[in-house]
Chains A and B, each alone.
Chain A
Amino acid sequence: MASLSSLSTPPAGAANFATQGAPVARRGHWLWVLALLLLATGLTWVLKGYQLFQATMVLCYAIALLGLNILTGYNGQISLGHGAFFALGAYGAAIAMEHGGLPYWAAIPVAGLACLVVGYLFGRPALKLEGLYLALATFALGVAMPQLLKYKHLEAWTGGVQGIVLIKPDAPWGLPLTQDQWLYLFALGVTVVMFLIAHNLLSSGTGRAMRAIRDHALAAEAMGVDNRHYKSMTFGVSAAFTGVGGALSAIAVQFVSPDSFTLFLSISLLVGIVVGGLGTLWGALFGALFIMFVPNLAEQVSKAAPWAVYGVVLIAIMFVMPGGVVGLLRRMQTALRARENRGG
């Protein structure tokens, strides 16, 4: 009988991509990464105005999704409230810049650090909760965050309902770039750093411990993995990633307000990692593209009921590729290899 914890352990057959989720750096893999990076850099001079902003937001979401994926995909802890950490990162950066006088590049690590601490502190008592119960606890966090940000005794810092307005940074060292172009390149740089950190973390012993806890907590404990430490630490790291994404987005949007971090953001993040591919690094990128562009596309299909279109697309995606985009790509790759082997 499926127990409550089945939320955190993917069934072996259906999600075998997740169990081998180790980010293996195959030879030739890095060539693809390099090509993608060149392409992304090139986009700086191709995209214009609003498109450049959208691209920057995709990067912000990708970092945030990376964080949620570390928690849910690699460690098996579900979160329905990661929008709260996104908000915390955004506000952390905004307050550091507005009240602390920090430059934007220094505000981002500060926001990340703040989220690391808060995430760890939240993850510690949440250790006792699993599956649905953890979902409820994180859901509560997502509900509470906008209310806390509006809370009148914090208004001196958060600006209450009005929020905080930020200024867009100029390109440094006299580079011939517009503000939008520089911000996009800066976000790209941060994204690359965060992906590298995630990649190295997940292929280290820590990453193995995290996956072991997801696949079988008790067996991991018996093998000497300190579940309590790793689970709460993963919560902190995950929150830090999402916070960095939020901080970047605050600088890109130039504005933070409580109402931009509704529950819908948390749910979008969860949708993003599942659509992209649970327990995969690249899934974060595909998921970010999905949550950035599919709502707009849905609006173009039907102005009257865009969310109905969105819902249908969502369900259709889950029918066609239950393992997300990356799951589908891997299935195609395996099929291709099998054919090659038969042929040769």
Chain B
Amino acid sequence: MNEFLHQLLAGLATGGIYASVALALVMIYQATHHINFAQGEMAMFSTFVAWALIDAGLPYWAAFAATVVLSFVVAAGIEFVVIRPMHKAPVLSVVVVFIGLLVIFHSLAGFFFGYTIKPFPSPFPADAWYGSSLMSAHEVGAIAVALGMVALLFLFLRATPLGLAMRAAAQNPGSSRLVGIRVGRMLMLGWGLAGAIGAVAGMMVAPVVFLDPNMMTGVLLYAFAGALIGGIDNPIGAVLGGFIVGVLENLIGTYVVGTELKLSVALVLIIGVLIVKPSGLLGKTIVTRV
């Protein structure tokens, strides 16, 4: 029983990371209806930047803040320079652009920081009061950070005028423009937020899996699955989906098929759920008039 509890909680901890990346995916999906396949690599690159800052002697939280701000700016810049000119292109062309971004970030991270695996510090001290034999302090911290980000994002989108403008721009760009909302800026803001959320997720995952350019490839896949299973148009659903995928992955890996096939089995299960419930657990069913 203790072992099961341990696996369950460890699943929740990795789920928190998937949830954060899923949240970043949803931010961009809501605004532009694109899945940013480069999200994981962008987060990985941000984490390398944080590592370089810490390595240069900055205290952890200063490096953390600087990385989040920098990631926000870079992601917003990517929207402006690369994605915006493509807004009339066929969807698959945009997908290919994302793949291009993915390989660029991957390659640049290896080029600047090398392919050797690096340890990354955790901000949560190992002997903190919230750590226990069931869950390490870092695991608890990572879950708390993921939940905190959802809460903040929820408040931002629901309770601030800027959040309202952002939602309006995502839902009906034409009318939003007419009432004076700068839709382009809202898209940039959405991308920036996604970049910042991804950076936080990267810094949370790096102490667990260690830092190297391949760090986020699997995470992105799980986050994508989590976002779809929870409902890609719903931030809370995405976070829930991320946690579900994390727990599922851990339990299947431990009890059912072993680590070899766990990825495949987890994906098959997720697709099974989607066949029964195509718009995800909390997603809106989209009805199109023809």
Contact = CB atoms under 8 A, between A and B. Distances in A.
B88 A305 contact: no
A338 interface: no
Contacts of B91: 6-7, 10-11
A121 interface: no
A204 interface: no
Interface string A100-124: 0000000000000000000000000
Given A275-B96, A305-B107, A308-B107, A132 B228 contact: yes
Nearest to B262: A147
B271 interface: yes
Contact of B90 (A10, A129, A306): A10
Interface stretch (A22-30, A45-53, A229-237, A313-321): A313-321
In this complex, the member of A125, A144, A311 whose beta carbon has the largest number of chain B beta carbons within 10 angstroms is: A311
A314 B260 contact: no
B90 A15 contact: yes
B172 interface: yes
Given A11-B88, A218-B290, A310 B103 contact: yes
B221 to A, nearest CB: 7
A119 B146 CA distance: 39
Contact of B263 (A6, A125, A143, A323): A143
B261 interface: yes
Given A132-B35, A132-B232, A307-B106, A137 B271 contact: yes
Contact of B104 (A7, A274, A311, A322): A311
Nearest to B104: A311
B110 interface: yes
B96 A318 contact: yes
B104 to A, nearest CB: 4
A313 B110 CA distance: 19
A3 interface: yes
Contacts of A267: 99
Interface residues of A, number: 55
Given A128-B278, A132-B232, A144-B264, A274 B111 contact: no
B56 interface: no
B261 A308 contact: no
B86 interface: yes
B286 interface: yes
A312 B100 CA distance: 7
Contacts of B286: 3-4
Contacts of B274: 129, 133, 136-137
Nearest to B286: A3
A323 B91 CA distance: 11
Nearest to B263: A143
B102 interface: yes
A135 B37 CA distance: 12
A35 interface: no
| A contacts with B: majority SS | helix
A78 interface: yes
B228 A136 contact: yes
A278 B171 contact: no
Interface in A287-344: 304-308, 310-315, 318-319, 322-323
Max count, chain B CB within 10 A of own CB: residue among A6, A135, A140, A271:
A140
Contact of B221 (A7, A128, A143, A274): A143
Nearest to A7: B91
B92 A274 contact: yes
A208 to B, nearest CB: 20
A2 interface: yes
B86 A318 contact: yes
A6 B89 contact: no
Given A6-B91, A10-B90, A314-B97, A151 B275 contact: no
Interface string A147-173: 110110000000000000000000000
Given A136-B274, A308-B108, A318-B86, A148 B35 contact: no
A147 B264 contact: yes
B288 A129 contact: no
Contacts of B86: 318-319, 322
Q: Which of B93, B274, B290 gathers most chain A CB within 10 Å?
A: B93
Contact of A144 (B111, B225, B267): B267
A245 B146 CA distance: 45
Contacts of B59: none
A18 B91 CA distance: 13
A38 interface: no
Interface string A189-219: 0000000000000000000000000001011
Interface string A267-295: 10011001100100000000000000000
A211 to B, nearest CB: 15
Interface of A: 1-7, 10-11, 13-15, 18, 72, 78, 125, 128-129, 132-133, 135-137, 139-140, 143-144, 147-148, 150-151, 216, 218-219, 267, 270-271, 274-275, 278, 304-308, 310-315, 318-319, 322-323
Given A307-B107, A311-B107, 5 more contacts: A3-B286, A132-B35, A147-B260, A310-B103, A312-B104
29 contacts: A1-B171, A11-B90, A11-B91, A14-B88, A128-B275, A129-B271, A129-B275, A136-B228, A137-B271, A139-B221, A139-B267, A143-B263, A144-B264, A144-B267, A147-B261, A150-B260, A151-B260, A270-B95, A270-B96, A271-B96, A275-B96, A307-B107, A308-B107, A311-B101, A312-B100, A314-B96, A315-B97, A318-B97, A319-B85
